[in-house]
Each structure stands twice: as C-alpha cells, then as structure tokens.
Amino acid sequence: MKREAVFHTAKDNMCYQLNGDEIYIALMTGKDIKTVDIQWGDPFDSGIMGGAEKWSGKTEKMTEVLELENHFWWSIKVVPPYKRCMYYFTLSDGEEKVFYFEDGFYTEAGLGVQGRRMQCFCFPWMNSADLFETPDWVQDAVWYQIFPERFARDGGAKRGIKPWKHEEIKGVNFSLRYGGNLRGVINRLEYLHDLGINAIYFNPIFKSLSDHKYNTDNYYEIDDDFGTKEDFKELCDKAHSLGIRIMLDMVMNHSSFFFEPFVDVVKHGESSKYKDWFMINKFPVTLDRNTRDGRYYSFAFVQYMPKLNTNNPEVMEYFARVCEYWTSQFRVDGLRFDVANEVSHEFLKLIRRRVKAVNPDIYLLAEIWHDSTPWLRGDKFDAIMNYSLREAVSDFWLDEQQTTKQLEQRLNRCLTMYPEQSLRVMFNLLDSHDTERLYHRCGHDEDKFFQQLTLLFTLFGSPCIYYGTEIMMDGGHDPDCRRCMPWDEIDSGDHDEIIAQVKTLIKARKETPELKSLDMKFIDSGNNRQIKYIKDGSVLVAANADDAPMELEYRDVIFSRGLENGVLKRGGCAICRV
C-alpha cells in the first residue's frame, strides 16, 4: 500500500460544516486503494475521553470517489446527532488493510495493543457562528463583465476622445479614450436583459486618470469620464428593476499617486500624518522611475500604484467605510477585490464583517490566481475568480495531446479545492480584461469557441462572459482585449446568429437546474478527446474534439452544434436530457 499517498487533515476542504446538520469529510489516497470505510461517532459515545473506555464509532463506506492526476479523492457527508464528530479511516488495497488515524497508520494487531490510545481525527463542535455561508442568488447568476471605457458611449465625441470604433488596440496607452460611460451602459441594459444576463461585474469606475481606473485617486467619487453618482444610481435602480445585480471592482491593495494621502506624503515626507498608510522605506518619496530599488512598495513595481498598508488600523477603517458607503448608498450586490492576495487577512475579515452587516446577501469576490484556501474559510471571501477552472478548460483545446481523462482529473481537482459553499458560487470565466479574448485564444475557431462556452455554462459555479463574447469578439492580450463594442454591427444584425446561440446557452443554464449541480460524472473518459459527462444524473453534456464521430443517447436536445441523428461530429457540442 502506498501509505505516503494517503492524506487527511480535519480542516479546510477536507473537513468542514456544510450546513447546520452535515459535516463533509474527504480523504486523499493513492490509486492503489480499493475501498475506504470511515468509523465515526460522538467523541463521548463510550464515556469521557481519557478513561479506560474503548471507542469504536459506526462504520460507513465512502463511495463517492473522484479521480485526480495521481490520487483518488474519497468523500462522505455525515450528520452528527450531537454536533461533534470523531473519526478514523479503514483502507484496503485488496491485499493489505490499515487503519488511518491523526497520529498515523495502524494494523489490526496494532489496534489491539493493551493500553494504546490512538489519536482520532476530530471535528469538536458545529458552531453556527463558524458556518461558511455564501449568498444563494449567485448560483443563479449569469455574469457579464463590462470594461466601462469601451462598452458603450452616450453622447458625441469630445476633445481628447477618439471616435467610437471597433479596432485593434496596439501598445500601452493609459490616456487612450473612446468615451465609454455609465449612460452608455444604461442605454444597453435592455440588450443585456434580453441576452439573459442577470448580473454585471464592472471594472473600476472610481476617479482615476487612466483608462482602466486601477489606480484610484478618490474612492468616493465616480470618474468624470464615466459620469456622476446620479448616473450610477440610475444605472443601479434600472438594473435592479430588470433583475440584474451589480458588482463593483474595489482596488484596495494600492492607490494612485494622486490619492490625497499619498500626495500628502510626497509633500510632507516623514512628517506626514499618512506616512504609515503606505509602505515607504526611504524619504523623500520620488516618483520618476519604477520601484525595484525598494524606496517604497507598489503594485508590480509600478511607481504610480503605491501599495497601501492594510495592516494599519486607520487604513482598515477608511476602506471599511468606503465599502459600507457604496453598499448602503447604491445597494450594490457584490464587491470584487483586486490583488486580494496581497492585502492583510485582518483587513479582509473586517471588511466582511462590516459589509455583511449592511447587506448579509452581498457577494464578496477575490481576484486570486492560485490556490486560495486561506481566503475561503468563511471569514473573508465567498469565492474567487476561478482561473484554475479556466486553465483546465483552455488547456484541453490548446494542447491537442491532452486526453479526456486528463481533463476529467483537472476538473475534479477544481471540485475538491474548496468547500462546497464556495464552489457553488465560484466566478467562472474564460477571458477577461487581463487575458486575451476567448475567440483569439481559440485561434478564431468557432467550434472550439462554442465547445468551451458549453463547458463554462454547464459546470458548477456562476458563469461570466466578458463583454463582446456574445458576438465572438476578437482581441489579443492586454490592451487589445479592451476594444470598443461594435454597436453599429450589432444593431444592424450582423451578429444575430452568434448572439442567438449564446442566448440559447444562457437560457439553458438558467432553466436547467441540473447544470448548477456539483454532481458531475464523466462517461467513457480515457485516451480519447471526446468529452461526455452527466450532470445530476439527468443532463448529458458532450463536446467532440476527436476526429472520430461521437454517438450520443438522449431524450431531448437543449442546445447543440454539429449534432445529427444522434451523432456528434468533430467540433460539435451538445446539452441533452437523458
């Protein structure tokens, strides 16, 4: 038995409260393991611990198994009658049986040693205050990301503003302006509603000199480029009347060097009352070059994005009030935190307490590109931007040597990384303002484009499309992924066929509850490139990236491309009831 491949810890994604009654428990083993049982029960079933009593618990088979690249992931949900749970595992590889406790492995003979006390795993008490709760509405959300400067413009061209034109954007130019604004968004809310969108994620809208607004000058003001607070209030009210939620982008890892406290530090140096609001190592502060010399810390060595000291109680309080302001005054439904992995955990805990007190149903989302376990323990964020899932899906089509089995293993990894409460509200995306566009990454292959969208809309979590995805908009890496929306083409019907297909996918997502389920079983995965999985036992999702035709059995077709008489051709994709 490969004991070195066996692992469990009684916390995080391997042991947690699902709700007021259930505890989720998972064990990771090597692929040599054939069966796993769990012995669980109340720690005091046989008396108070420490005496001569012998505790055994009741035995249940762990039958839920997911295959990862090098491991099996076994899981079970138990309902402790007295809110506490003690447990250990029995593993068999068909030849050897061992017992796995917190303090190691034991054989049957080892368990019988007189006086030996094995250390069981333990979930001490299911405290309601510790339960990780996420907003239910996000499970039903279909997100649409808007980069405000390029989505839509209301009004004519002004001085310094380029004519609105869908064109390739070459080279970094943060002063480039096409004039997108909030009133332009207001004018297109009916379009988004008709598309099926019920949640909008806005890139930053606060006062800033750049086009992207990720270097904030004033956290309490809408940028003049975009409009006024009255415009934003009207946008929120109209969106809400259409059943569309609003999420704002909050940049609290760094500010701009025109943020008043930083201006004060540049002016007054060490005597500034704000000097500890930032991470400054050398005075006076100079702004003429990048920060690789360490004179002060900034985002990605960019001198005009000085890093905020989120360990400072004054900074924590200031930004807690900022979040409370936009949450209470404009009834925003979500806050997305930029570079969330670099700010202090204490700061994030405070933010969650404060904004959840204003709106318990608000969605708190983190931009984190790596394993985010420390941020998803119920005291900071509800979910992350799910780049792990994006890479799993994208890589399958980028690397034609990958098999369906490998895709299954990578998607299963995504399913096991975090608590179910968070998985259900993950923010799933295939492109964004930070990446090349999906159609570009697909090599302008329409079949690959729709195959990946089909997976996006049928996996756990909440799907997000970047503005223009519904017309298969092209665009390379930043800044080219931030082109203007071609409204003249859309309004003239040039993209109706593609839009209709995307609308069908969105409709399928919203009207087929099984697609939101965490229950996903791959069928016939192996060394082929034919994807086929069943959601919640009743909905088939298929995509054929293989040369061979793919035969499907189904009752009704919900969405399809390339499906004829039960055969899915290469490049085809389908969602069907079985």
Domain positions in the chain: 3-130, 139-144+182-250+311-385, 254-309
Q: Enter the DSSP assignment of 21.
A: S
Is 338 one of the annotated active-site residues of the chain?
yes
**In the prediction, which pLDDT does 48 show?**
72
Residue 220, helix vs strand vs coil: strand
Burial of 176 (0-12, 13-18, 19+ CB in 10 A): middle
pLDDT band per the 50, 70, 90 thresholds, residue 141 = very high
pLDDT band per the 50, 70, 90 thresholds, residue 117 = confident
Mean pLDDT, range 483-501, rounded to an integer: 98
Structure-token match 């609308």, residue found: 503
**In the prediction, which pLDDT does 49 show?**
67
User: Is the CATH number 3.90.400.10 carried by domain 254-309?
Assistant: yes
Q: What angle do CA 439, 445, 449 make, to 5 degrees?
A: 50
User: Rounded to an integer, what distance in angstroms lies between the CA atom of residue 449 and that of residue 465?
Assistant: 12
Mean pLDDT, range 24-39, rounded to an integer: 98
| H-helix or E-strand spanning residue 453 | helix 446-456
**In the prediction, which pLDDT does 312 show?**
98
CATH class of the region 139-144+182-250+311-385: alpha beta
Residue 411, helix vs strand vs coil: helix
Instruction: Say whether pLDDT at 51 is over 80.
Output: no
**In the prediction, which pLDDT does 157 show?**
67
Q: One of 217, 338, 420, 447 is an active-site residue; which one?
A: 338
Q: One of 217, 223, 231, 367 is an active-site residue; which one?
A: 367
Instruction: Say whether pLDDT at 50 is over 90.
Output: no
Residue type, 244: I
pLDDT band per the 50, 70, 90 thresholds, residue 52 = low
| Architecture of the domain whose range is 3-130 | Sandwich (2.60)
**In the prediction, which pLDDT does 21 show?**
97
- The closest of 421, 335, 436 to 390, measured between CA atoms, is 436
Structure-token match 């697909």, residue found: 442
